[in-house]
Amino acid sequence: MEPSTKELSVPKGYIIARIAITDAAAYDSYREDASAAIRQYGGRPLARGGRWETLEGEGRDRNVILEFDSYDAARTYFFSPEYQRAKEKRRGAAVADIILVEGA
């Protein structure tokens, strides 16, 4: 008997970022380069900015959820030379908490 499609699927990888922007102009430069790297590594934005409210804990003014085909693909994006160059532009422009989560 062949395994079902569900049994063969690899869990997706999600990068979740909570960001407090301190320099909007510099952050815009980071965002352009980060967006190019996201596309290059197959990421899909599920949420980027938009309406939000803090239900518990500390809130940040920008929230981003990126979906990748796998945990490893998301990790490859984050540590890629392209994203690391973009990340340098964020230095001093924002404070960020970024996590990688494996999910369905």
Is the distance from CB of 100 to CB of 41 less than 8 angstroms?
no
Kindly report whether the global pTM for this prediction surpasses the value 0.75.
Answer: yes
Taking only the tens place, the pLDDT of each residue in 72-95 is 999 999 999 999 999 999 999 999
Does domain 9-50+59-103 fall under CATH 1.10.3470.10? My reply is: no
Q: How far apart are CA 104 and CA 101, in angstroms?
A: 10
